[in-house]
Amino acid sequence: MNAPISADQEPRLDDFPYRLSDNVRFADLDPNGHVNNAVYASYFETGRVTLVKDPGMGLMPTGLSWIMVRLDIHFRAELHWPGTIELGLGLVKFGRTSTTFDQVVFSEGRCVASAKAITVMIDEATRRPSPLPAEVKENFRRWVRRGVNPDGA
């Protein structure tokens, strides 16, 4: 089942196998005193980049790179400073040249934002999309979101 996180569905952090903690920074705030909507893109980026750029994960073959092609964010609750956040990421789909992730930001046990992110693997020399190597797909399997089949079956 490849059901996306719907607007009325409360995500569970336990469904996201890749997790890390971060801090809410004072600089993240807007004049309303809560985290600015644009900052959430940085939180989601931190989760993705920390995973794929880690040399031990085997997700960045020589000569290939990742680019972001789509980020859809659902803002679920206000987030304030000071505080810590838990970032969760789970792979939900493989395309021919792309990966799709569900991502979440949790604060004090509550999901404050969720997102769907699509990244495309490109050849660094040509800057054109490149098919996902089998070893990259295999290395991503441990990061599949609970309850999802990334191959679409």
Output the CA–CA distances (angstroms, integers) from residue 136 to 1, 59, 96, 140, in the order listed: 22, 5, 12, 6
Q: How many CB atoms lie within 10 A of CB 13?
A: 15
Average of pLDDT values for 15-20? 98
Are the CB atoms for 44 and 73 separated by under 8 Å? yes
Tens-digit pLDDT profile for residues 64-121: 999 999 999 999 999 999 999 999 999 999 999 999 999 999 999 999 999 999 999 9
Assess whether pLDDT exceeds 50 at residue 2.
no
pLDDT at residue 104, rounded to an integer:
98
Q: Are strands 83-94 and 98-107 parallel, antiparallel or unpaired?
A: antiparallel
Tens-digit pLDDT profile for residues 21-73: 999 999 999 999 999 999 999 999 999 999 999 999 999 999 999 999 999 99
